[in-house]
Structure 1
Amino acid sequence: MGAAAAGRLHALARCGSLSPALSTTTAPRSSRGLRALCTLSTTLRSGAGEDEIERIRREFEDAKRNYLSIPAAIKDMPKMNPQGIYVNKNVKLDDLQVYGFDYDYTLSRYTEHLQCLIYDLAKKHLVNELKYPESCLQYEYDRSFPIRGLYYDKLKGCLLKLDFFGSIEPDACFFGRRKLSLSEIKELYGTRHIGRDQARQLVGLMDVFCFSEDKHFDGNSWRELFDVVIAQANKPTFYNSDHPFRVYDTQKDTLAFTAVDKFLPDQVYYHGCLKSFLQITKWRGPEVIYFGDHLLSDLRGPSKAGWRTAAVIQELEDEIEIQNSDGYRFQQAKLSIIHDLLGKVHATVVSTEKGQVYRALLDELNAERRQCRSGMRDLFNSSFGATFLTDTGRESSFAYHIHQYADIYTSKLENFLSYAPESWLHPPHDIKIMPHNAKVPASLFSTS
């Protein structure tokens, strides 16, 4: 092969990566030759791209035929345990010497009727005490609308669901009961991502409605199970304040002003702070595990103090049951295939003449993806979807807080009865974020 021919082949191999700055430094005759070779290379690549689009189209049609039934491989996949304990950080149960508990929705679990009662009491308070219009009384509690982990924007009046990175879910932003479109979200916020300044106006709805703890002191027998009972602790300020403890007289309903320098098992204490609590008890942080349902007010403080933390999340059980269902896993596998095909389409170069075929396939894949996402969301909640996941399959902001503040999490305390006291709980090595979220691979669908 002559030197000139070798040079042309070398230029052809490099022309796809030549920048305008490089091409202008070449001699005029050589640059014309290189431009011709680059045009030829682009034409060849677009021709190959058109063949690739046809191949992707055939893959898509094969996949749609496989969608007609649920593969046996999906039905045979192992199920996640709805009553399991899921681990973010290693915990040795036999290292724990002290167990602390929040009361509402941790030690005490309530029926769904409580939500309706609290909603009705709140309506009456708004109308009778705060002088809201009496028309507010006509509203009824809709248990199918809200989920945990939402955010309320105090300035704009919107109810939002955020993902793991603090971005607004496009199909989960409501003003009242009206879902806002993506253009309306961008008009209000400028972008889907919530910045630090905007985050200050958000109120996180991390727990379910509950009464104050002091409403439940209807007997003494349960107190005998605990070394220390504290009410009106005013979490989360309990963890960073200097408030003194006060002794509560359960007979006279009064507080004593005497200093508290030790805890007695037959007493109830009010207020206080973490600093004084640790000084009195002498308990070391790693020996203590605290259970709570509210990620911020219950668990953030103990986590920063070096305690082990456990989140009790009653929604977990139902959501795992849904994730275990053949219907959900079927949709998840479909979505995985569609994402793979979309990635191939976006990586393909086609000529202008074939642009219509390219766009048609892209539109079909995007429509199929929207249908899958909608079907998966409706299995959990038609308004906001899953508590732990977004419609795109990413972990939600609520999941982020669990990962940040809870060493372990489960649906109820009774689940610990299935574990030996000396158990060593450790996270799965192949899970990066939420260990209860099973991943359904696209390979379970045969597209041959």
Structure 2
Amino acid sequence: MAFHRRLLHFRSSFNRRSFSPGAREGFNGSLRSYNATLTPEQTLLQIVKEVKQDGADNSVMDDEIAKIRQEFNAAKQSFLKIPEALKEMPKMNPEGIYVNKNLRLDNIQVYGFDYDYTLAHYSSNLQSLIYDLAKEHMVNEFRYPEVCISFKYDPNFPIRGLYYDKQKGCLLKLDFFGSIEPDGCYFGRRKLSRKEIAEIYGTRHIGRDQARGLVGLMDFFCFSEACLIADIVQYFVDAKLEFDASYIYEDVNRAIQHVHRRGLVHRGILSDPNRYLVKNGQVLQLVKMLREKGKKLFLLTNSPYYFVDGGMRFMLEDSTGYTDSWRELFDVVIAQANKPDFYTSDHPFRCYDTEKDTLAFTKVDAFIPNKIYYHGCLKSFLQITKWNGPEVIYFGDHLFSDLRGPSKAGWRTAAIIHELESEIRIQNDETYRFEQAKFHIIQELLGKLHATVANSQRTEACQLLLAELNEERQKARRMMKKMFNKSFGATFLTDTGQESAFAYHIHRYADVYTSKAENFLLYPPEAWLHVPFDIKIMPHHVKVPSSLFRNQ
């Protein structure tokens, strides 16, 4: 009946139209070509044929939409309980070593370590200390408003791996391909909507020109920096004061650098080590095990010697015989190395006198055991030690300062990412995996729907199904995000399940990564570490297949 109604309409329309040779106007405003030699009756027959085809296509499309609706309804029923197959899935090891590039530990003869957040572990109180010292410096020295003294560090706001836009003043979380995470863009402490992001950036993808104005906040000290930047931006917004976003970054960064370089943070930590440092006997076990296996060890840190010495003494005070002689555990100890310039500069090494607190003027052409060295450069280090690149592995927590230089120099690299342990535990949780599986199912159904129906052909039933699928997807995304950080979600993942920009840098600069250096105690020094064959980007991310919910 519907077909006959359309045909009557077309016949009436046909009788009223005059056709120009070679082209005829379609009934939906489009242009259709017909042979100019056809008679009106032949042209009408051709139009009828096309109408029948359109009707058949619509019927097929309606059937496909109905099938997707049935799949969605069945999926919603399966969402009522966690499938047994999901519960039985193997869990990732929070203390595992995850491999981006194959690594044979039996080929590694030299182990190098950073100090902060690599050998030394800190409590969460440290970020508050850095934040408080920096804000005081900004008020006292940079003449920021006195009200800034009342600001408090919020441990629930920042994550590692954010970017600050010095031109626009936004804190951004980017994905693996450099696009802004829709729910990961903040101006001050206010999350921007997708519409606002589009108004500011035009597109979610950050181009090369825009990327030049971004600053990566990648190390463990960046938490306090990101939080202080956001708090100050928010203050200026609330006070309706004009400000230059680049000035705020420069001032906060200068304040953070000041409290480190002037030793304010170091003295604060050593004045109350129980509050800021975490004792860890496993570090000593790791170092002793490596020495017993005949490995060479060196310590390369930007921190001054007195700070490293105080921290090592505190951490090893429960270990008999090593409190005063921790330096004997290392073949070379280099402090105030000024990384990342260490890897590219030509600065000479200076021997440091621990008793007089002075630097010697004699040339360093050999590293003497139990001596401390300052400054230096990679070129001289390799000339003195004769250690070849591939036989050296360096452990550090800062992807740029610690690992980018060594990776380019041919050293093997191990990233220490403390958040990894807690994030893997969350991903192992049944609730998270359940939401992840739901998200993947909805994504699959949305993909089918978009592939079946063009925007111009969406019926009311299609629009309703699309809205329901999008709502269900958003629910799953919100559930997964709030299991991590309430503002920015997971460190390694975006809300859509894609790897983050931080994950990209780990993939690029770290041969292996783990939550702490001591995890290497769980592996024999002769182990061969291989990239998992079924994982393409980040090895610790297991994708929950949607097939788990089928045939329940």
- What TM-score do the two structures reach when normalised by structure 2? 0.75
1:105-254 equivalent positions in 2, closer than 5 A = 105-209=117-221, 213-214=303-304, 215-218=307-310, 220-254=324-358
Partner of residue 434, structure 1: 538
Residue-by-residue CA offset, 1:351-386 (whole Å, 9 max, x unaligned): 989711110100110011111111100001111000
Deviation at 1:37, TM superposition (A): 3.2
Deviation at 1:36, TM superposition (A): 4.1
Which amino acid counterpart does residue 525 of structure 2 have in structure 1? P
1:30-429 equivalent positions in 2, closer than 5 A = 35-209=47-221, 213-214=303-304, 215-218=307-310, 220-349=324-453, 355-429=459-533
Query: Given that residues 118 and 516 in structure 2 are in contact (C-alpha distance below 8 angstroms), is that contact kept between their aligned partners in structure 1?
Result: yes
Could you say which structure has the larger radius of gyration? 2
Residue-by-residue CA offset, 1:277-322 (whole Å, 9 max, x unaligned): 1111111000000000011110000000111000010000000000
Partner Cα separation in structure 2 for residue 447 and residue 57 of structure 1: 17
Match of 1:140, SS state, is coil
From the superposition, tell whether residues 22 and 267 of structure 1 become closer, same or farther in structure 2 (CA, over 3 Å): farther
From the superposition, tell whether residues 90 and 256 of structure 1 become closer, same or farther in structure 2 (CA, over 3 Å): same
Deviation at 1:253, TM superposition (A): 1.4
Partner Cα separation in structure 2 for residue 57 and residue 223 of structure 1: 68
Match of 1:380, SS state, is coil
From the superposition, tell whether residues 431 and 350 of structure 1 become closer, same or farther in structure 2 (CA, over 3 Å): closer
Residue-by-residue CA offset, 1:64-101 (whole Å, 9 max, x unaligned): 11111111111111100001000011101010010001
Query: Given that residues 46 and 351 in structure 1 are in contact (C-alpha distance below 8 angstroms), is that contact kept between their aligned partners in structure 2?
Result: no
Query: Given that residues 115 and 308 in structure 2 are in contact (C-alpha distance below 8 angstroms), is that contact kept between their aligned partners in structure 1?
Result: no
From the superposition, tell whether residues 353 and 423 of structure 1 become closer, same or farther in structure 2 (CA, over 3 Å): closer
Partner Cα separation in structure 2 for residue 142 and residue 173 of structure 1: 17
Partner Cα separation in structure 2 for residue 345 and residue 31 of structure 1: 35
Partner of residue 12, structure 1: none
Partner Cα separation in structure 1 for residue 127 and residue 187 of structure 2: 22
Partner Cα separation in structure 2 for residue 37 and residue 251 of structure 1: 99
Match of 1:331, SS state, is helix
Deviation at 1:33, TM superposition (A): 5.3
Query: Given that residues 163 and 396 in structure 1 are in contact (C-alpha distance below 8 angstroms), is that contact kept between their aligned partners in structure 2?
Result: yes
From the superposition, tell whether residues 315 and 25 of structure 1 become closer, same or farther in structure 2 (CA, over 3 Å): farther
Which amino acid counterpart does residue 93 of structure 1 have in structure 2? L
From the superposition, tell whether residues 25 and 302 of structure 1 become closer, same or farther in structure 2 (CA, over 3 Å): farther
Matched, 1:446 2:550: yes
Partner Cα separation in structure 1 for residue 345 and residue 105 of structure 2: 30
Deviation at 1:233, TM superposition (A): 1.2
Partner Cα separation in structure 2 for residue 398 and residue 38 of structure 1: 53
Partner Cα separation in structure 2 for residue 288 and residue 76 of structure 1: 39
Deviation at 1:221, TM superposition (A): 2.0
Runs of 4+ in 1 over 3 A off after TM superposition: 20-39, 349-354
From the superposition, tell whether residues 91 and 357 of structure 1 become closer, same or farther in structure 2 (CA, over 3 Å): same
From the superposition, tell whether residues 226 and 58 of structure 1 become closer, same or farther in structure 2 (CA, over 3 Å): same
Partner Cα separation in structure 1 for residue 45 and residue 449 of structure 2: 31
Partner Cα separation in structure 2 for residue 407 and residue 151 of structure 1: 23
The number of residues matched between the two structures is: 429
Match of 2:112, SS state, is strand
Match of 2:111, SS state, is strand
Query: Given that residues 59 and 447 in structure 1 are in contact (C-alpha distance below 8 angstroms), is that contact kept between their aligned partners in structure 2?
Result: no
Partner Cα separation in structure 1 for residue 444 and residue 511 of structure 2: 34
Which one has more relative contact order, counting CA pairs under 8 Å at least 6 apart? 1
Partner Cα separation in structure 1 for residue 159 and residue 455 of structure 2: 47
Match of 2:413, SS state, is strand
Deviation at 1:140, TM superposition (A): 0.9
Partner of residue 231, structure 2: none
Match of 1:141, SS state, is coil
Percent of residue pairs bearing the same amino acid type: 66
Partner of residue 9, structure 1: none
From the superposition, tell whether residues 353 and 179 of structure 1 become closer, same or farther in structure 2 (CA, over 3 Å): closer
Partner Cα separation in structure 2 for residue 252 and residue 351 of structure 1: 77
Which amino acid counterpart does residue 303 of structure 2 have in structure 1? E
**Higher deviation after alignment, 128-137 or 159-168:** 128-137
From the superposition, tell whether residues 447 and 64 of structure 1 become closer, same or farther in structure 2 (CA, over 3 Å): farther
Match of 1:257, SS state, is coil
Partner Cα separation in structure 2 for residue 381 and residue 351 of structure 1: 35
Match of 2:441, SS state, is helix
Which amino acid counterpart does residue 180 of structure 2 have in structure 1? I
Deviation at 1:22, TM superposition (A): 10
Partner Cα separation in structure 2 for residue 434 and residue 22 of structure 1: 51
- Structure 1 unaligned runs (5+)? 1-19
Deviation at 1:223, TM superposition (A): 1.4
Which amino acid counterpart does residue 265 of structure 1 have in structure 2? P
Computed over aligned residues only, the root mean square deviation of the Cα atoms, in angstroms, reads 2.1
- Structure 2 unaligned runs (5+)? 1-29, 222-259, 266-301, 314-323
